[in-house]
Amino acid sequence: MKKHISNAFKCFLTFMTIVTMSCVMTFTTVASDDDIFCDDFTGSRLYTQQHESYPDSMAAVSDAELPKGWLLWHSYSEYAALDSKLYLQTPDGSIKEISDDFIHAMNGSFSITPEQITFMAIDSSADEWDIFLYDNGNITNLTKNSRFRNEDPKWSPDGKQIVFKRGYWDNSVGDFVYDLAMLNIDTYEVTMLTNDRAEEAMPVFSEDGKYIYYTRYTEGIG
């Protein structure tokens, strides 16, 4: 029990380090096989432009607040059942399921407006994990027929890009290999951000859009 508490506390301290520091480095190792990274991508093809003005962005205006009363969550009986449902609750208390030609929807993320959401789900026709966009009731598969596993989407602060992890099967290791990718919401163009054998996962933008935080597993899939 003490070991579990200690590890959890180390995780908390590592998270606190991430959100209070803004430099390019490998942060404190949480465990022997996973590290937490912060990249600003300057000086290479991994560079993500810092937008100086977000006229519609909640994150860029210091006194702005996210709309109250919106909730987004998923629920399933067990992961292997592939029966996850994604739900959206509006401020008036009404609840709707976000559904379309996909199954096992989960990991929803609000954009700069609660009417625009990204999430991951299994495309029913292609039988692959894809990144979807819910925009005022309209649903679009942003990575349709990519032949990759596309997971863990998160919005940039200006609502123009989505960072996610993309995986492919590698026979040489007998497992999936995951890298980070960026999707332009206007063109659907995907740019790879990493390319190695370690799994990069759970990416998220910093509030100002300059950095992407993520976990890197070096000893197997996380």
Q: What is the mean pLDDT of the chain?
A: 77
C-alpha 82/C-alpha 121 separation (Å) is 10
Question: Is the Cβ–Cβ distance between 18 and 213 less than 8 Å?
Answer: yes
pLDDT average, residue stretch 101-120: 96
What is the number of other CB atoms lying within 10 angstroms of the CB of residue 175? 14
pLDDT average, residue stretch 5-11: 40
pLDDT at 212 over 60: yes
Q: Lowest mean pLDDT of 14-18, 161-165, 216-220, name the range.
A: 14-18
C-alpha 135/C-alpha 113 separation (Å) is 10
Q: So what's the pLDDT on residue 104?
A: 98
First to last CA, the chain: 22
Structure tokens at 155: 């919005």
Q: Express each pLDDT in 99-108 by its tens digit.
A: 999 999 999 9
Amino acid of residue 106: M
Closest CA to 202 of 11, 5, 50, 4: 11
Q: Lowest mean pLDDT of 26-40, 66-80, 155-169, 200-214, name the range.
A: 26-40
Closest CA to 108 of 79, 132, 141: 132
C-alpha 198/C-alpha 3 separation (Å) is 26
Closest CA to 26 of 221, 206, 213, 220: 213
C-alpha 10/C-alpha 112 separation (Å) is 32
Domains plus CATH for the chain?
2-217 (2.120.10)
Q: Which residue has the higher pLDDT, 32 or 119?
A: 119
Q: Which residue has the higher pLDDT, 9 or 140?
A: 140
Q: Express each pLDDT in 66-91 by its tens digit.
A: 568 899 999 999 999 999 999 999 99
DSSP output for 72-95: EEEE-S-GGGT--EEEEE-TTS-E
Question: Is the Cβ–Cβ distance between 214 and 199 less than 8 Å?
Answer: no
Structure tokens at 137: 């009731």
